[in-house]
Each structure stands twice: as C-alpha cells, then as structure tokens.
A and B are shown apart, each in its own frame.
Chain A
C-alpha cells in the first residue's frame, strides 16, 4: 500500500490539473468576475457611457436613489409577480404532463419530442409567434374568442396591464414547461415500480400513492427544477423586450436595467446609476438563490 503522495500515477497531477483548469478559470474571471467588480466600481460614479472622462464620484448615493425609484420598485414587483405565476403554473402543468408521460403508451416518443420543441426554439422566436397569435386585428386568439362569442370586440391583449402580463406569462409557461416536464419525468423514472405495487396491495388509491410515494421521492428533483426556473424567471428579458418592450406595466428589472444602461445612460449621465441597479439585481438574485437552496435542503454535492 503506497500513500497517495508517492503514488506514481498521481505524482504529476497538480501540474496537469493547473494546465487543465486555468483556461476555464481565466474565461470565467475575465467575463464574469472582472465585469462584476467593474460594475460595482461604476456604480459609485455619475457618468454617461460615451463620456467616461466626465466621471463624478458619488459614493453609494446611486443606491439611495435606486431604493426611492418607484419605477424600479414597480418593476421589481412585476418581476416577482411574473416569476410566481410563471413558475407556479408551469410546475403544476409540468407535473401533470410528466405523470402522463410516465405511463407506457403508443406515441409516447412523439409526445416527448414534441414537448422539446418549444424549449429548443429561441425565446425571441417563440415570443414573435405568440405576439402574432395575440395580435388584436389578425391574431388567432381573438379570432377564436370572437367566433365562440366569448368576447364581443377584439381584445388588444398587449396594450392593457390587465391582459398584457398574463399574455407574457402564458408565453413563458409554454416555453419553459417542457424543462419542468423532462426534469420531473427523469425523477419519476428513477422510482422503483415495486414501491407502487406494494402500495397497491396495501390498498392505497392513486391519490394516496402520489402523496406518499411519488411526491416525497421527486421532491429533490422538483427542488432543483424550481431553483433553476425561478432564477431564470427573475432574469426574464427576451419575452418582455419582444412582446411589449415593457409597455402596459410589464417592465421587469432586467428590461429597465438594460434600458437605463444603454438607452438613457448612453449619453446622459445614468450609466453609473444603471450599474447600481445591476449590482442590486445581482444581490437580490444571490440572496434569493442562497435562501432557496437552504430551505430546499439540497446538497449541491
């Protein structure tokens, strides 16, 4: 028995590990951590993107302004609203379809492939497809509702706060439920069939079997899926940008942030302010991720 340090197979490991690992670390440091630091640095100044020479140090005052910015607070609430509805509904729908696909039946492969399509196509493309379906004059949604006499006049879906947010949420649900379905399905398929047989012999009905076997066993998978999806939903940008550009009270924090940095802050001195918003979004999402992981009691290896 040789000790690890003298094991000839592993003697040179640290050197090779360094060579193998450094490119990854370098890319991440250069593209993620350096900009993050720089964003914080920018947030301490008042300046425009095009005129970095006219920088005025303002300390943390951008953050004070941010907390009093009613547009930011409203957009934060929009983002939370969007995330809760979207993730909540797609979890329910995802669970339902996953339980369905967990049965063996003809066409199962076809359904599984079909489900992948909304997930695979670019979000911009799915947003455009749905924007067309929600079109007030020529969209199929109004077309169907009118011919079924559910509505009397065409609904201008994307122009009013009461309908625009639900419309946007519906697109996100369509687009991301597949992810939920496939994750939950993978979790379901790891449950040994004998468990169900035993429960059936004990006289448990379908509902009892779900709550006593299925749900506890897929809880870890569900937890991870929820974390991924909620973090994604909190960052939503594409759907809102394409469908309304934030009009009709659908603006989310990412959309407002991008606009502040690159439209407002391009020549007007708001780039530093936008950077403080970026830092705030980073903090909100990190805190959120931290507590989520904690409460879900998930071991990330």
Chain B
C-alpha cells in the first residue's frame, strides 16, 4: 500500500513537471507584459510581479498598427479557412463517394503538396503574384494558404465522409435530388463536426504562418500578426514589454480555442495519421 502511494506521489510530481514545462513560458510572457520597465529590465526578477501595469498593452495599439495587423490576420486566416473548407469538402466528397477514373492520381497529386518545402516555391510564387498584382494584398496570401492547407483538409474530410452512413444520400438521390443539392442539404449539415475539426487546423495554420506572410506582405500596414511580432524593434532597446504584450494578445484567443475545442483539434490532428 505504501509502495503504491509513493508511486502515485512520484507520478503526480511528473505531471507537475510536465505542466510547468509546457505552461511556464506562457506564464512568463504574461508576467513580463505587465511588469513596469524598471522591474522588467533588471537582472533579478521576481516570479510574481511586484507591481502590475498595462502600459505595454496600450503602447502596442497606440505606437504600432497592431490592431490593423490583427484585422489582417483575421481576414486572411478566416477567408483561407472558409474557402479551403468549401473547395476541400467538395473534393473530399468526390473522392469518398463518387466513382471516377484516376482517383488515385488525383489523391497523389493533392497529397504530394503537403511534402513541398515552402521555401522552394517562394521566389517563383513571389514573381507570379507580383505579375498579377497580388503582392501586398489579402488574396496574395489567402490563395497560397488555401493551397498549403488543402491536402490535409481533403484527406481528413474524405475520411470523415467515408465513415458516414450512405443511406441518407441514397434516399435523397432516389427522391430525385441532384448531386449538388444532396451535398449541400444532406451531406454538409451532417459533417459539421468534421468541418469544425479541419477548419480549426486550417485557421491555426494560416494564423501562424510566417514565411509567405513575411515575403508577400511588405508594408507594415499589411503585416499579419506573426510578421508584426517578429519585426517589433525600438529606437534604443528591444521593446520586450510590448513584444510580450502582443504575444499574450494573440495567444489568448488560441488558448480559448484550444480549451473549447480540445477534442476536435486532437481528432483533426490525429486523423489519417493513426487510421491511415
């Protein structure tokens, strides 16, 4: 009995270590964002801030176009997610349910993109987007993001559609409903859980993407959040308080998403990798 207790004691110590390891950097960012500069730029900082102030948060919005950056990211990630889900669900449905030749080839073509190193198309994509005047525009980022996220979307959704019972669709066809209306009226409403799971992953990916955003949006007003945060500089010192405040601002909604949709995100992440 004693032995068992000791083991569970060590087990919970292990749990605590894991929790601290994964959460501490975020805690430290929060603490640093509310510390007065005098405390922040000292060699010995207390684990809990002695004084709290929100100056850094105000500065982020008054000294920088950070509100605009958040808007940019929201528009880009939101549109990319929505469009990717529309296009991807149609393709996923075709692969799961329709009979056509060359299905394997289509799937291979789509999945091969997920192995593409982004940097190897960076230069040419810049030229192409510039030639159609899409540099420093929202579509200039939305369209590439759709291409980057569509392999995973198609893959996960076709798995999802395959697992759905066929009877409802077949009944609809027999009642004379066409492919389009069956898809939009019957299939899509039933696949909302799958759409939410993949949509969350697409959104998080687009919200976080850095290399394309850095290259295709070159005006501070068009920066997305990650680019803006990477570019934070001050006249004399690195504005750490502001960097931490901005980091906290964009992390909080993601933490909320993670807490609310934990199971959905995990099922989206692991779909396809486990079942194969």
Q: Is B204's beta carbon under 8 Å from chain A?
A: yes
> How many chain-A residues does the 8 Å CB contact rule pick out?
106
With the chains together, A36 CA to B266 CA distance in Å?
A: 32
Q: How many A-B residue pairs have CB under 8 A?
A: 296
With the chains together, A183 CA to B132 CA distance in Å?
A: 41
How distant is B231 from chain A, measured CB to nearest CB, in Å?
Answer: 10
Q: Is the CB of B25 within 8 A of A286?
A: no
Q: Is the CB of B98 within 8 A of A17?
A: yes
Q: By DSSP majority rule, is chain A's interface helix, strand, loop, or mixed? A: helix
Question: Which residue on B lies nearest to A274, using beta carbons?
Answer: B123
With the chains together, A109 CA to B263 CA distance in Å?
A: 10
With the chains together, A130 CA to B41 CA distance in Å?
A: 16
Q: Is A202's beta carbon under 8 Å from chain B?
A: no
With the chains together, A224 CA to B272 CA distance in Å?
A: 10
Q: Is B247's beta carbon under 8 Å from chain A?
A: yes
Contact for A9 among B125, B170, B244, CB less than 8 A: B170
Question: Which residue on B lies nearest to A37, using beta carbons?
Answer: B124
With the chains together, A87 CA to B146 CA distance in Å?
A: 27
Q: Is the CB of A289 within 8 A of B115?
A: yes
With the chains together, A275 CA to B122 CA distance in Å?
A: 9
Q: Is B188's beta carbon under 8 Å from chain A?
A: no
With the chains together, A238 CA to B208 CA distance in Å?
A: 10
Contact for B154 among A24, A116, A125, CB less than 8 A: A24
Q: Is the CB of A114 within 8 A of B273?
A: no
Residues of A within 8 A of B179 (CB): 12, 16
> How many chain-B residues does the 8 Å CB contact rule pick out?
94
Question: Which residue on A lies nearest to B115, using beta carbons?
Answer: A289
Q: Is B121's beta carbon under 8 Å from chain A?
A: yes
Contact for A300 among B18, B98, B111, B250, CB less than 8 A: B111
Q: Is A247's beta carbon under 8 Å from chain B?
A: no
Q: Which chain B residues (7-23) contact chain A, with CB distance < 8 Å?
A: 11-12, 14-15, 18-19, 21-23
With the chains together, A253 CA to B122 CA distance in Å?
A: 13
With A138-B41, A285-B115 given, is the CB distance from A117 to B255 under 8 Å?
yes
With the chains together, A107 CA to B11 CA distance in Å?
A: 12
Residues of A within 8 A of B210 (CB): 122-124, 237-238, 241
**Other A-B pairs, 9, CB within 8 Å; known A132-B29, A132-B240:** A39-B124, A114-B23, A116-B262, A117-B22, A118-B26, A132-B28, A262-B215, A279-B120, A281-B120
Q: 20 A–B contact pairs at CB < 8 A?
A: A9-B173, A23-B87, A28-B150, A36-B121, A42-B124, A105-B15, A109-B262, A117-B254, A125-B229, A125-B250, A129-B25, A132-B32, A133-B25, A138-B42, A182-B269, A183-B269, A186-B270, A224-B276, A254-B211, A258-B119
